[in-house]
Amino acid sequence: MAATLVLTHFNELFVPNDPGHPLRGKEMNKGTILKDAYVAFDGDKILAIGEGDVPKSLIDANTKVEERRGMVATPGLIDAHTHLVYGGSREHEFSKKLNGMSYLDILAEGGGILSTLKATRAASFETLYDKTHDLLEQMMIHGVTTVEAKSGYGLNWETEKRQLEVAKKLNEDLPIDLVSTFMAAHVIPPEYKENPDPLIDEIIKMLPKVKEEKLAEFVDVFCDAGVYTAAQSKRLLEAAKKEGFSLRIHADEIESIGGSAVAAELGATSAEHLMVITDEDIQKLADAHVIGNLLPGTTFSLMEDTYAPARKMLDAGMAITITTDSNPGSCPMANLQFIMQLGCLYLHMTPIEVFNAVTINAAYSVHRNETVGSLDQGKKADLTVFKAPNLDYLLYYFATNHAVEVYKNGKLIVKDRQLV
């Protein structure tokens, strides 16, 4: 069959394996790097990849053939953990943070997530839509073609719903796929501090509505000191599982209070952060095949010393993804490439492990592995093209946007580093 478009002579092309499950442990350091490579699209799908001259069978009179010398490519990047839809911003807390006030101290005095809660409740659909539209454009320009987006700055149904509806509409309007997570259990407001149980009951009551209106596929909870306990998180996630949701959990970000064990016990798709996870809990996640979503940008931005122990996780056989955690507080940014570079510099992951983390493993983490995350024939023609002599260079030369072109469903959405 002839292709509609063939991009030829890439210096290197990263081709992840898709063995039918997320890559675990040593599997994460495997993948093929094709040299002098081509990628052929059949409209919105991948048709073929290979090295050297393009087979004649792929080209007919209607095939567009373009050279990409001096460039490298990967499957479209996937950001599997973001808090994308929110009102306001939090730079007014920056000097407090620089003066040594901790994330939880700022939250305890009514700032942090609680301040974004106020701003998000006050923001209209249009305001949230425009703001998130902007963020998604930044993400696309940096090579991202699929993104997970959590609610969690409303807490009340009206605002949570508005956040999820904004994500749903942007998924329809923009050439980037959004996967939604319902995360009303993101903070405990002062009025529930003494007893959060009635609040959990309220959130559990929202689950059927989220399901009915098809507003989210996943449910997440912030299980940490000063937020939800392991028992509270488990109660909520159990209810979500019964309702048919897949599960994620923010665990072991600040203190290790049992969130990872809950993830393993309930068969969560992923456990996120894991900066202070214990060796015992690493083994639990590995055994239960829970993906570890690691967010080194958050450790960096919170100016903490403790990065998630990625090497220990890999030694234990865990699957890992790396994500931005893009949010207004603990990681105000939207450049997944920088996070990938931190993956090498601070998580000590190899370039191949990092590329697998943001392609095939991230696809599994958001349940889109059937359609994206690798370059297997028939998957979506999502491709990120970087100006770089080789793939290692992308991760070595940091804090720079190397993405020059992005294809989503076979369509060019970024050209010369600008949105088309």
Positions touching ligand NIG (CB under 6 A) are 83, 112-113, 116, 222, 250, 253, 298, 325, 327-330
Q: Of the two residues 10 and 228, which places its CB atom closer to ligand NIG in the complex? A: 228
Q: Of the two residues 73 and 113, which places its CB atom closer to ligand NIG in the complex? A: 113
**Rounded (10°) angle between helices 259-266 and 279-288:** 20
Q: Which does 298 bind (CB under 5 to 8 A by kind): ligand NIG, Fe ion, none?
A: ligand NIG
* Least Cβ distance, residue 364 to ligand NIG (angstroms): 20
Q: Which does 337 bind (CB under 5 to 8 A by kind): Fe ion, ligand NIG, none?
A: none
Q: Of the two residues 42 and 325, which places its CB atom closer to Fe ion in the complex? A: 325
Q: Of the two residues 91 and 370, which places its CB atom closer to ligand NIG in the complex? A: 91
Contacts of residue 71, Cβ cutoff 8 Å, sequence gap at least 6: 10, 11, 385, 386, 387, 388, 404, 405
- HEC readout, 68-90: CCCEEEEECEEECCCCCCCCCCC
217: left (phi over 0), alpha (psi -120 to 50) or beta: alpha
Q: Which does 297 bind (CB under 5 to 8 A by kind): Fe ion, ligand NIG, none?
A: none
Among candidate residues 144, 160, 175, 161, the one with its CA nearest the CA of residue 81: 144
**From candidates 27, 79, 93, 325, binder to Fe ion by CB under 5 A:** 325
Q: Which does 75 bind (CB under 5 to 8 A by kind): ligand NIG, Fe ion, none?
A: none
3-state secondary structure of 276: coil
Q: Of the two residues 83 and 408, which places its CB atom closer to ligand NIG in the complex? A: 83
| Whole-number Cα distances in Å, 250 to 82, 101, 102, 116, 169 | 12, 22, 18, 18, 26
Measured CA to CA, the distance from residue 254 to residue 360 in angstroms comes to: 28
> Is the separation of the CB atoms in 38 and 9 below 8 Å?
yes
Specify the stretch interacting with Fe ion by CB under 5 A; choose among 164-172, 284-292, 324-332, 334-342: 324-332
Q: Of the two residues 246 and 301, which places its CB atom closer to ligand NIG in the complex? A: 301
**Rounded (10°) angle between helices 157-173 and 197-212:** 30
* Least Cβ distance, residue 250 to Fe ion (angstroms): 6
Q: Is 148 in the site for Fe ion (CB under 5 A)?
A: no
Q: Which residue is nearest to ligand NIG (CB)?
A: 329
Positions touching Fe ion (CB under 5 A) are: 325
